Structure 1
Amino acid sequence: MNFDFSEDQVSLRDAVQRWAEKGFSFDRRHALAKAGGATREVYAELAELGLAGLAVPEQHGGMNFGPVEAMVVMEELGRGLVNAPFAEAALVAPALLAGAPEAVQAAWLPRMAEGSALVVPALQERRGRYKLEATDTTATAAGDGFTLTGSKSVVPAGDEADAFIVSARHGSGTGLFLVEKAAAQVRGYPTQDGARAAEVSFNNAPALLVAQDGLPVLSHASDVGIAAVCAEAVGLMDRLLAITVEYMNQRKQFGVTIASFQALRHRVADVKMQVELGRSMSYFATLKLGEPQEQRRRALSQAKVQLGHSMRYVGQQCVQLHGGIGVTDEYVASHYFKRLTMLEMAWGDTLHHLGEVSSRMQDTAGVFA
């Protein structure tokens, strides 16, 4: 199998890399985090590069790129520690709108592609425990439309968004609805990794129907989110390892650099192994996004389990190899560690996806499936 990237994919990666190196320094990220984590202006800069329309169909002003291009972009955003709701707004939201009525797509997708509208998913509830179908938010028919009542938690960039795509109980199933921010009650707050999230409540909020039977769409969109998390994590781990090796080649103890200590070199080799395991599973997740639902869901959960283990191991080892400086807020490595910790819980933590994998392997012999 050929894992080489095409010329267009390499050019896309280089463009994102150049922007991250020149336009998003650690000092800028640190300043944004200390100011509360607002990143709408960062997302606007990504939109100027055309990235907001990465997954939007061409007929609605987007580039209609596929999962591999999304993976390439997410890796570089991770490597640059870019703080913006890119995966949620530019990858997951268009996937959720893919089956929406044409009028809804025409009203929102062109604005999303140009970056003038920030639409984010609002899916998680307090009792949900990562289960897509677990929602207490309800949708009620009202004239030609619907109204929503309920609440969602940890909505990414919720207080900066223009609209939300919300899962809600409708009849005997789960539907998807689009609600504008003006119709919701939003309480924003900073997150541990320097970004922002919000608690969003709806009280008979007017809503547009996105999908009557929302679970299949929601399932695919969440897998898009998992693949994005995996790719971002690879970029984060790759760069954190490079920062750690650079530090070890400068830090001296007993008159020599600590990079010369055999025990530490062995630990770095183990870290590198985990980075490459994570990279291979990120590729696996991306390439499985086009598979039927049952195979796709199992593959994405398998990838998230491996990335969960890799993120935790790489983050902890690299911080420990730094010593005390590795946990200081002024040093870049601690921010990579915090972002990896947040990603380990995004779209389902490791334990949740281990359960998802095991539930789909009841008639098989594990690794030989």
Structure 2
Amino acid sequence: MDFNFTDDQEALRDAVRKWVDRSYTFERRNAIVKAGGFDRAVYGELAELGLAGLYVAEEHGGMGMGPVEAMVVMEELGRGIVMEPLKHTLVASGTIGAYAPEDVKAQWLPKIASGEALVVLAHQERAARYNLHKCETQASQAGDAWTVTGSKSIVPAGDHADAFIVPAVANGKLALFVVERQAQGVATRGYGTQDGSRAAEVTLNKAPAQLLTLDGITALEHAVDVGIAATCAEGVGALDKTMGLTADYMNTRKQFGVALSTFQALRHRMADMKMQLELARSMSYYASLKLNATPSERRRALSRAKYQLGVSMRFIGQNSVQLHGGIGVTDEYAGSHYFKALTQLEMAFGDTLHHLGEVSERMQDTAGVFA
């Protein structure tokens, strides 16, 4: 199999990397964190690069690209631990593009592609524990109009988003709806998260809603898998940068008059971290390449990938802090922010233990050493 990227994909990577290096400096990121964890101007810059329209068809003003291009972009944003929720834009645009009726596509996709509208998935509930089938939010229909009542937790940039994709139970079956943040009956409570980004609790009280699809569980599982693939790629970028910061520190920090990188035991530790990075990278490729597979195959693949990314993020993050010593957890040093970002990514769209359980449940008769 050819794992080389095309010239267009490399050009896309180069454009995003240059933007991160030039425009999303550590100082600018710190200022955004202090201001609340979300900057609409930064999101607008990402949209100007065309990134908000990666999954939007050209007929709706997007770039019409696929999972590999999204992976390339998210890796580079991960290297800069960019907080603005582009991966949730990919989730929303991919879900609307694949499952929504034509009038909903025409209404939302052009605005998403241009950056005019930020639409995010609001699916987590307090009692669900990552189980997509558990949903207490209810939808009611009166004629052609729908309303939604319930609560959603940890909605990315929830108090800044223009609309939410909301799973709710309609006539005993899960469905997906689009709910505008400014609609009557919608209330948000924003807060900062561990990595400095922003999330919100969203409360819906008979909020007017637009039906996206009645086949909610199929669409929601696909949406979450898109999010997992993007999270894996973002994690690889953050891991790569963490490794670079750690190597630079070991080459410059001296102990007993020599650089830390000369100590064999520490070099072995770095070799183990590098192995975990490459395992994560290969599984991120696997996740993105499986996004268009059949649902059962796709779900198995994405859980496998997220489990390995969780293991790698925990291993590399913790070892990086240990190799740095005290400076590794100080707020002034970039490495501590990568550690916090990796810790949060490990829990996004299902933590490591959850996906280990998913992998176990989806094992087939042919699984095992002697298969």
Aligned ranges 1:292-303 → 2 under 5 Å: 292-303=294-305
Q: Deviations over 1:171-190 (max 9, x none)?
A: 12100000000121011001
Unmatched runs of 5 consecutive residues or more in structure 2: none
Q: TM-score, normalised by structure 1?
A: 0.98
Q: Deviations over 1:310-330 (max 9, x none)?
A: 000000001110000000011
Whichever residue aligns with residue 144 of structure 2, its letter is D
Aligned match of 1:317 in 319, 325, 347?
319
Q: Deviations over 1:60-82 (max 9, x none)?
A: 11111000000000000001221
Alignment partner of 1:146 is 2:165: no
Q: Any conservation in 2 of the 1:147–1:207 contact (CA below 8 Å)? A: yes
Alignment partner of 1:32 is 2:17: no
Corresponding residue SS for 1:174: strand
Q: Deviations over 1:226-268 (max 9, x none)?
A: 0000000000000110010001111011011111001000000
Whichever residue aligns with residue 350 of structure 2, its letter is G
Alignment partner of 1:204 is 2:182: no
CA–CA distance in structure 2, aligned partners of residues 213 and 81 of structure 1: 34
After superposition, the Cα gap between the structure-2 partners of 1:367 and 1:36, relative to the gap in structure 1 and judged at 3 Å, is farther
Alignment partner of 1:128 is 2:125: no
CA–CA distance in structure 2, aligned partners of residues 57 and 63 of structure 1: 6
CA–CA distance in structure 2, aligned partners of residues 320 and 366 of structure 1: 35
Whichever residue aligns with residue 157 of structure 1, its letter is A
2:155 aligned residue: 155
Q: Any conservation in 2 of the 1:42–1:83 contact (CA below 8 Å)? A: no
After superposition, the Cα gap between the structure-2 partners of 1:142 and 1:367, relative to the gap in structure 1 and judged at 3 Å, is farther
The Cα of 1:365 is off from its aligned counterpart by 3.0
Q: Deviations over 1:283-303 (max 9, x none)?
A: 011111111011110010000
The Cα of 1:346 is off from its aligned counterpart by 0.3
CA–CA distance in structure 2, aligned partners of residues 296 and 345 of structure 1: 20
2:21 aligned residue: 21
The Cα of 1:148 is off from its aligned counterpart by 0.3
2:118 aligned residue: 118
The Cα of 1:41 is off from its aligned counterpart by 1.7
The Cα of 1:92 is off from its aligned counterpart by 0.2
CA–CA distance in structure 1, aligned partners of residues 16 and 349 of structure 2: 24
Q: Output the aligned Cα RMSD.
A: 1.0
Q: Deviations over 1:81-137 (max 9, x none)?
A: 212100002x10012212111111111110000001011110000001111121100
Aligned match of 1:230 in 222, 229, 232?
232
1:104 aligned residue: 104
Whichever residue aligns with residue 91 of structure 2, its letter is V
Whichever residue aligns with residue 153 of structure 1, its letter is S
Alignment partner of 1:345 is 2:344: no
The Cα of 1:363 is off from its aligned counterpart by 2.0
2:47 aligned residue: 47
Unmatched runs of 5 consecutive residues or more in structure 1: none
Whichever residue aligns with residue 12 of structure 1, its letter is L
Identity %: 64
The Cα of 1:210 is off from its aligned counterpart by 0.1
After superposition, the Cα gap between the structure-2 partners of 1:149 and 1:243, relative to the gap in structure 1 and judged at 3 Å, is same
Aligned ranges 1:146-295 → 2 under 5 Å: 146-183=146-183, 184-295=186-297
Q: TM-score, normalised by structure 2?
A: 0.98
Q: Any conservation in 2 of the 1:140–1:148 contact (CA below 8 Å)? A: yes
After superposition, the Cα gap between the structure-2 partners of 1:367 and 1:24, relative to the gap in structure 1 and judged at 3 Å, is farther
CA–CA distance in structure 2, aligned partners of residues 33 and 367 of structure 1: 48
The Cα of 1:368 is off from its aligned counterpart by 6.6
The Cα of 1:142 is off from its aligned counterpart by 2.0
1:95 aligned residue: 94
CA–CA distance in structure 2, aligned partners of residues 314 and 95 of structure 1: 31
Aligned length: 368
The Cα of 1:367 is off from its aligned counterpart by 5.8
Q: Any conservation in 2 of the 1:119–1:162 contact (CA below 8 Å)? A: yes
